[in-house]
A and B are shown apart, each in its own frame.
Chain A
């Protein structure tokens, strides 16, 4: 047996005295208990804090999305304006071609003028003829639309070469 071991008992008493137990419990027990009101207040503040962060983030995302939508809408509007949709060059060409065609020159004076429209209107009113030759716009009907077509051809400003007569449309 060494000298060190000789300083201890062979069967030491492992029982802790009650006094020591009480002292230890007193020393390490929680100093104060947290009342439930404080717990709820802390929880509320935490909830409000994180809710605000979530709302701010969502609003910021919404703002970016709205900006992109506005930019896209502006681009569409500008593109539409750049197309200049009010121009109808094809219609102008049709009227000018008709103005030089023999199909609408009913009095055979070599040009289409308002008297040709007048004579067509008179013939349609009197129902003297439903000939396909009077179907100026080629829609299968002989009516006031054909008269308008001849009248608009008469006032057309667009120059055109002499058309091939009936069937230019």
Chain B
């Protein structure tokens, strides 16, 4: 009898904190109206070769969560770029990449794709800020940053 009582008490002490923490997480759980979509990021450096870039993306409308980041089209930027893992599950991220090679892209090229979880009926809007773009000499170059929503 004592053993059964001890087990019941232990179970209660174990289960109650779990349920309490679970109830806290439930508030953060996604709403039912949730879908996923990629957001392709393009950078046009004109006739200058692109060796490095850094930009910031922020959602200005809608409810999004960043769930993943992948590299771009050109082979020098095909690997996943640098980003802060803390940006995952947030609506703001800073992304950067560089390559010290010589075979660099010019013109308009996809530099990254950000995978998003979009909740709610509001179509999200994004704010893109190019922090810096650089050429093969590490010098700052002008470039135009755009994004396209993928399927």
Contact = CB atoms under 8 A, between A and B. Distances in A.
A75 B145 CA distance: 51
A156 B21 CA distance: 29
B86 A158 contact: yes
Contacts of A152: 82, 84
B52 interface: yes
A156 B86 CA distance: 8
B98 A117 contact: yes
Given A122-B138, A155-B82, A71 B53 contact: no
Nearest to B10: A71
Interface residues of B, number: 31
Nearest to A154: B96
A141 interface: no
B98 A157 contact: no
Nearest to B99: A118
A74 B96 CA distance: 42
B100 interface: yes
Given A114-B132, A157-B87, A82 B53 contact: no
Interface stretch (B11-19, B29-37, B120-128): B11-19
Contacts of B95: 155
A121 interface: yes
Contacts of B86: 92, 157-158
Interface in A34-88: 64, 67-68, 71, 74-75, 78, 82
Name A's interface SS: helix
Contact of B52 (A68, A114, A156): A114
Contacts of A121: 98, 100
A62 B87 CA distance: 49
A118 B83 contact: no
Interface in B90-110: 90, 92-98, 100
Given A78-B14, A118-B98, A157 B92 contact: yes
A118 B138 contact: yes
Interface of A: 64, 67-68, 71, 74-75, 78, 82, 92, 95, 107, 113-115, 117-119, 121-122, 125, 148, 151-152, 154-158
25 contacts: A64-B3, A68-B7, A71-B7, A71-B14, A75-B14, A78-B14, A78-B18, A82-B17, A113-B54, A114-B131, A114-B132, A115-B52, A115-B134, A115-B138, A115-B140, A117-B96, A117-B98, A118-B98, A118-B100, A122-B138, A151-B98, A154-B96, A155-B95, A157-B90, A158-B84
